[in-house]
Amino acid sequence: MGDVRYSVKQLARLAGVSVRTLHVYDRLGLLTPSVRTDAGYRYYGEPELLRLQQILFYKELDLPLKAIAEILDDPGFDLARALTGHKTALIARRHRLDLLLNTIDNTIDHLKNKTMSNFEKLYEGLDGAAALRQEAIDNWGEEAIVRSENALVEMGPARLEQLKADQKDIDQRLRALAGEDPVSDAVQAQIARHYELIRGFWGMKAGEPMKAAAYKGLGDLYATDERYTAVDGKPNPQFAAFMRAAMAHFAETRLR
């Protein structure tokens, strides 16, 4: 790259990010410019360009900024080894996305022509599909699971994508509130959204309440099965306990 020097606007255009994003990265100490002029201009050199590439690769793999900073600032960080790791992870993701695209095509075909007789095809490309389905049946009963599957198929791709987007937003908001009292108004407002989300995934009709024991039982499951509340694949017992307490309070005060 030689003796490169990019302004904030130039780097933002080059990397396809916003100027505001680069300012945030600078404020967090995640990506600081190599030069700051007396007039307040920021300039980035080759090391910063390479670091930004790593930041964007790790973001592509859904790592939070704090975790990315810890990785990049580790004295043992090796750029070439990291790139090899990115390549392996992205190839695996491409394979999984191919499977998921095939699942979407099969589901759309079923929506149009009712071709799906084996609902396990709903989960092809999703980790442990058959095992997870059987586990769900063991926990909630086959009738409830089949009902949920039928509802998900009938609601169509657009509504399903909206549910997934809502799920992500609710999860982020609850994780941000995890240090608060589980019975506080702010937490309970998000738990109310979570409750409605679960009703949607379970295929419950408008106005049909979920039994308090069922919703509270789901909270108990969160606390005993780390997969439901893990962060970046790592167990988070504190968040699990927070969710259990918040869901129990909601069930006891709103669902009785």
**Which one has a higher pLDDT value, 249 or 104?**
249
* Degrees to nearest 5, angle at CA 61 with 178 and 148: 65
6-76: CATH topology: Multidrug-efflux Transporter Regulator; Chain: A; Domain 2 (1.10.1660)
Residues in the chain: 256
pLDDT for the residue numbered 117: 61
Q: Rounded mean pLDDT of 164-189?
A: 91
Q: Rounded mean pLDDT of 53-59?
A: 89
User: Please, where in the chain does CATH 1.10.490.50 lie?
Assistant: 156-254
User: Which CATH class, in words, describes the domain spanning 156-254?
Assistant: mainly alpha
**Which one has a higher pLDDT value, 7 or 228?**
7
pLDDT for the residue numbered 223: 79
For the ranges 74-83, 133-142, 164-173, 227-236, the maximum mean pLDDT occurs at 164-173
Dist CA 114 CA 107 (whole Å): 9
**Which one has a higher pLDDT value, 227 or 97?**
97
**pLDDT tens by residue, 62-104:** 778 888 888 888 888 888 888 877 777 677 667 767 777 777 7
Share above pLDDT 90 across residues of the chain, in percent, rounded to a whole number: 30
User: Please, where in the chain does CATH 1.10.1660.10 lie?
Assistant: 6-76
Share above pLDDT 70 across residues of the chain, in percent, rounded to a whole number: 77
**pLDDT tens by residue, 106-155:** 777 777 777 666 555 565 655 544 454 565 566 666 666 666 666 665 66
